[in-house]
Structure 1
Amino acid sequence: MTSPQVRTADEKTILVSSLARHRQVILWKIQDLDDERLRRPMVPSGTSLLGLVKHLAGVEYGWFCETFGRQVEPMPFDLDQDPESDMFAAPGETTADIVAFYQRACAAADAAISEIDLDTHGTSWRGDTVSMRWVLVHMIEETARHAGHMDIVRELLDGATGDHAPAV
């Protein structure tokens, strides 16, 4: 839930808050499931909860860090060799490995967001010039889209539904 203060805050605060909310959903969707269920593909494309987390980690680093010339850790996949390799947990990767990768990517992205003005331009992996503002909006869309996928996959796994963790 968005706090009343955020609803009337400056543009960057609103965008960062929205991204943070959807990131929380990503981690909430994998709670209380064992490794086998997190890896289990539930649709013909092979989508799994853990694969979606891995993918989102890669795009956090890609859009927020690589686009703006910032340091990125070595990726645990090779998109040149296999364009879908970021969507699947490799046999040697643990749930803890992938969650930690996502958390490091989000932390690196947050550092970039806090230090880079919304109007600053960078170059995307496709060679397009983009602003930090555009990247924030794009990543809100990307994260929310995959949170929706995770909601469906989670429902197929154990019947759990919901778009945000219940308030405690």
Structure 2
Amino acid sequence: MAARPGRPRVGGERELLSAYLDFHRATVLAKLTGLDDDVLRRPVAPTTMSPLGLLRHLTFGERYWFSYVFAGDEVDVPQALGDQDREWQVGPDESAAGLRAEYEAQVVRSRAVLAAHGLDDLARRPPDGEPHSLRFVLVHVLEETARHVGHLDVLREALDGTTGE
């Protein structure tokens, strides 16, 4: 498995939460490494979930929570349009490398949003009208990414037998 950043045992809240999110982000990408595009787009029965579909979902999740909800940016987010299916779809002309680059670019944007604001700052566009702090957004994206790393564990093992943290 590709190298991933360390997880500190001591540090401030922002440092620890950010480090753990970065660890899980790197794990997502590591679990995609070594498989060709055709294998990565193949769903694993009994689900219709594919590794690339999951990567697309995580990209839109980062974009939705950090850029759209918190920063208030006008960005493409199917979640805001009620188009949940689109965030899992991967077209035949989309490559694993392209989807990976899109995810990595969104992570850079998410990190910039996080670095520019305090954890107690409030989202500009909370989805339910209730206040959402940047702390909530960070913890939510960390939880969502970690949960989907577990899905990628199962998908990867079913596709080629690779296991590991």
- Same topology, TM > 0.5: yes
With over 3 angstroms needed to count, the CA separation of the structure-2 counterparts of 1:80 and 1:73, relative to structure 1, is: closer
In the other structure, the counterpart of 1:116 is 117
% identical equivalent positions: 36
Are residue 29 (structure 1) and residue 20 (structure 2) matched? Answer: no
Structure 1: tracts of 5 or more residues without a match: 164-168
TM-score, length basis structure 2: 0.88
Q: Contact (CA 8 Å) 1:42, 1:156: kept in 2 or not?
A: yes
In the other structure, the counterpart of 1:150 is 152
**Deviations, residues 126-166 of structure 1 (Å, cap 9, x unaligned):** 43321111111111110000000000000000000112xxx
Aligned length: 160
Task: Compute the displacement of 1:93 (Å).
Answer: 1.5
Q: Contact (CA 8 Å) 1:151, 1:162: kept in 2 or not?
A: yes
TM-score, length basis structure 1: 0.87
Matched to 1:102, the amino acid is Y
In the other structure, the counterpart of 1:57 is 59
- CA RMSD between the two structures: 1.9
In the other structure, the counterpart of 1:132 is 134
Matched to 1:139, the amino acid is V
Matched to 1:121, the amino acid is L
Structure 2: tracts of 5 or more residues without a match: none
With over 3 angstroms needed to count, the CA separation of the structure-2 counterparts of 1:135 and 1:78, relative to structure 1, is: closer
With over 3 angstroms needed to count, the CA separation of the structure-2 counterparts of 1:81 and 1:145, relative to structure 1, is: closer
Are residue 106 (structure 1) and residue 107 (structure 2) matched? Answer: yes
Q: Contact (CA 8 Å) 2:68, 2:75: kept in 1 or not?
A: no
With over 3 angstroms needed to count, the CA separation of the structure-2 counterparts of 1:57 and 1:120, relative to structure 1, is: same
> Which structure 1 residue ranges, 4+ long, deviate > 6 Å from structure 2?
none
